[in-house]
Structure 1
């Protein structure tokens, strides 16, 4: 891999996350991962998943039925903010192992599964577009460009997983997130919402450091 294709994905990912104007649009991809995390954990813990909505303002909601308290619902709420970073860490591991095409195809399969549960037009368009890009790269791009794109995906998920946690706490301080995942967890567990935000921060920053350490030697 050339120096350009080695470093350009990381720089591009950083620009998409750090630039306020661009982040308003690129954040939708992180929201897909966020809501997908809620949905997957809901299914794995035996809750009944009823649907997912992805909104144009980059917010989203996953509706499931089950007990309003207990370990299952706690895990479901925790999953949202940490899923993009954990997916980025997994992507970094696959890229390091030179399993680029399996990474791309696994992403397409996960998006296809998520599409079944989307309940609004914007959400459908977001998931279909993201899946189409993944499919096109896996099917038409050369091996070098596939590797560069996989690097970008890993970096974007790792970097993009951190920023929403800071945004969450900023909204909480201004009283604009009374129903956030952290506050829902606080009501269920009686553990302060700030501690849940700190947990999200530890996981997302830890994943970035670990994933970055895996990817930088490449």
Structure 2
């Protein structure tokens, strides 16, 4: 039997998104909250580092491995051609900080369409599993990420449609709000990761394109805020949600009974 969730009012949709944001913000402050939030910290690091790696692949370079450390930091290792252009190097560096918010915006948009809830959750779980097999080369990533993937797969398989939707909204808000939690990193030129001092993402963009790292940090935050704002506007659009009301899913047949008696 196909289960339908009736689109709620705009106030209900806003309430769910605010609840998701509250959970993301409040979890670290709760008793044992840091333990509860830890898998999500690792997940946002995965979003970030996969952004670097997949951008490298899209630019014709190689993505070798992904390392995630116990403190939640990470490192994507790629092979970039010696003659690669500065713009290519800058794009790969920008792919990391942009990935969580762009993915978060995409998940918020997907949460507006019931037919996408389960497929997107399944797809996310499969992508995490595949990345662990192909790219992840650190104990923390290998230990935590499969547990997150299993949880998402179970939700997609067994949970109610309402839980499916809220999970997408939660993950979307988690990715979207990472730009605020990482703003200090954006405005830092060098960082310590895995015991090494390396250029931050914006520091690498500065090295490639000359403008100061703080300019690129502000630029990335502006793009991220625009993407998240657009996704929220779409998900909360009254006209789009009202147009979905009363429309049965494609696999549901409707039969109409009329009276034989003439007026």
TM over 0.5, shorter chain: yes
Per the TM alignment, residue 67 of structure 1 is displaced from its structure 2 partner at its CA by: 2.1
List structure 1 runs of 4+ shifted beyond 6 angstroms.
174-177
Select which of 90, 97, 107 maps to 1:81.
97
Per the TM alignment, residue 178 of structure 1 is displaced from its structure 2 partner at its CA by: 5.4
Who is 1:44 aligned against?
58
Structure 1 gap ranges (5+): none
Per the TM alignment, residue 81 of structure 1 is displaced from its structure 2 partner at its CA by: 0.4
Q: Is the 8 A contact 1:17 1:163 kept in 2?
A: no
Change (3 A) 1:49 1:209: same
Q: Separation in 2 of the partners of 1:36 and 1:17?
A: 24
Q: Separation in 2 of the partners of 1:161 and 1:139?
A: 30
Q: Separation in 2 of the partners of 1:24 and 1:178?
A: 27
Change (3 A) 1:150 1:12: same
Q: Separation in 2 of the partners of 1:191 and 1:167?
A: 17
Who is 2:158 aligned against?
140
Q: Is the 8 A contact 1:24 1:58 kept in 2?
A: no
Please give the per-residue CA displacement for 1:111-133, whole angstroms capped at 9, x wherever unaligned.
Answer: 12321201111111222122111
- Pairing of 1:9-158 with structure 2 (within 5 A): 9-16=20-27, 22=34, 25=38, 26-68=40-82, 69-70=84-85, 71-98=87-114, 99-115=116-132, 116-158=134-176
Q: Separation in 2 of the partners of 1:175 and 1:48?
A: 24
Change (3 A) 1:66 1:53: same
Q: Is the 8 A contact 2:186 2:214 kept in 1?
A: no
Q: Which stretch shows the higher mean deviation, 37-46 or 208-217?
A: 208-217
1:118 partner SS: coil
Q: Separation in 1 of the partners of 2:21 and 2:79?
A: 39
Per the TM alignment, residue 16 of structure 1 is displaced from its structure 2 partner at its CA by: 4.2
Query: TM-score, normalization: structure 2?
Result: 0.72
Q: Separation in 1 of the partners of 2:25 and 2:232?
A: 12
**Which structure ranks higher in relative contact order (CA pairs < 8 Å, sequence separation ≥ 6)?**
1
Q: Which stretch shows the higher mean deviation, 78-87 or 150-159?
A: 150-159
Superposition RMSD in Å: 2.7
Larger radius of gyration: 2
How many corresponding residue pairs?
215
Query: TM-score, normalization: structure 1?
Result: 0.86
Who is 1:213 aligned against?
233
Q: Separation in 2 of the partners of 1:45 and 1:137?
A: 34
Structure 2 gap ranges (5+): 242-263
